[in-house]
Amino acid sequence: MTREELIKNIKSKQSFLCVGLDSDIKKLPAHLLSEPNSIFAFNKAIIDATAPYAVAYKPNMAFYESLGAQGWTALEETVSYIQNNYPDQFIIADAKRGDIGNTSTLYARSFFEHLGVDAITVAPYMGQDSVSPFLGYDSKWVVLLSLTSNKGSHDFQLTEDKNGKRLFENVIETSQQWASDKEMMYVVGATQGKMFADIRKIAP
């Protein structure tokens, strides 16, 4: 999905809603457990209920990978269902990959070529060569971790260099040399809202 298509959908629905599909099999309604693929059945119900209001869906890979082949099948069916029934939706694989070289190249192939999602979350802390294999796919996106919402984000992301620049600011500033705003977005945790103004100075 292109930047223009995503913005058009946001304006049309007057919504920024992204629905997380973090489906824990241990927390599913009991009546779904008899379904051939209970995770997909749960996801389908969530998708059908929210599609008129949402512009994006974000399955978190851990909830699928933890179930082995069954989980991967549920993920494939979920992505396929969204693409076939709600093609205006932006699909983000929340995978937080961040390896280098051939490993990242194969991760990119897995998510963009095999699954066909629109975007993947990527950790940038191994540098440009951990991110570049995900770039260059037509109408595909890297969503780069920059400032996360967890308590531990203060351990590293907010540390300052000798000039007073925080690490997350360096990440955003440096990464803009790797890609344009037509193929890269940033993760900023909702609990860090007061820093949006600072971030927009770097990446307006």
Asked if residue 109 and residue 54 are part of one domain, the reply reads no
Asked if residue 106 and residue 62 are part of one domain, the reply reads no
Q: What is the pTM of this model?
A: 0.93
Separation of first and last alpha carbons in the chain: 21
For tokens 């223009």, name the residue.
4
Using CA atoms, how far residue 70 sits from 25, 74, 113, 145, 168, in Å, is: 11, 6, 20, 28, 37
Using CA atoms, how far residue 140 sits from 112, 132, 135, 176, in Å, is: 7, 13, 8, 16
Which of the listed residues 67, 93, 119 is the one where a domain comes to its end? Answer: 93
Asked if residue 193 and residue 140 are part of one domain, the reply reads yes
SS3 of 97, please? strand
Into how many domains does the chain fold?
Answer: 2
So which residues are the catalytic ones?
A: 96
Asked if residue 109 and residue 71 are part of one domain, the reply reads no
Q: Which residues span the domain enclosing 142?
A: 98-204
pLDDT in tens, the chain (204 residues): 999 999 999 999 999 999 999 999 999 999 988 888 999 999 999 999 999 999 999 999 999 999 999 999 999 999 999 999 999 999 999 999 999 889 999 999 999 999 999 999 999 989 999 999 999 899 999 999 999 888 888 888 889 999 999 999 999 999 999 999 999 999 988 777 778 888 888 988
Q: Check which CATH number belongs to the domain holding 17 and give it.
A: 3.20.20.70
On the CB side of 176, how many CA atoms lie within 13 Å of its CA? 12
